[in-house]
Amino acid sequence: MRRGTFLKQLARNVGHHGGGRTLLGGLRTEDGRFNMKANLGLPLVETLRVLSISRGIEARSSAARAAALVARDDIPPEVGRLGEDVAVVLRLVLRQQIADIAAGQPPGVKIDLKQLSGAETSLVKSMTGTVSRLETLLRDTLFA
């Protein structure tokens, strides 16, 4: 019972991330930058962590967790994509940090959306849609 309560508390954290979309479907920015960590990175990593704990998976990286989870029969296949999404988030943040350092600015976790290609912008928007569905995915997977 304690484990179920613990998992519910962890899963509740995922539901507090809005995914970073505006009411009209655009990406919510602060000073023209999109917070990749708060809007995408944390909810994706937290979801993989909760699912891994629930299934006794000891992998530590998001990619390894996603791979171990989808190898099971009781996890939806779309969970495998979450590990790939984490890698995309990290790649975009690191690219922005390199650009910021080169420009004499401190590195952070917010990316300048104007620097993204059309395909990258579409991918970020797609990932925000995924994040908006993570709470339901967790509920269905953990407590159904």
Task: Identify the H or E element spanning 33.
Answer: strand 33-35
Look up the pTM and report it: 0.89
Report pLDDT for 69: 96
Q: Does domain 2-143 have CATH number 3.20.20?
A: no
Report pLDDT for 107: 97
Q: Which residue has the tokens 């953990």?
A: 142
**Can you tell me the distance from the alpha carbon of 63 to that of 84, in angstroms, rounded to the nearest whole number?**
7
pLDDT one-digit tens code per residue, 7-28: 777 777 776 666 787 777 789 9
Task: From residue 58, give the alpha-carbon distance in Å to each of 17, 53, 68.
Answer: 25, 8, 9
pLDDT one-digit tens code per residue, 28-47: 999 889 999 999 999 999 99
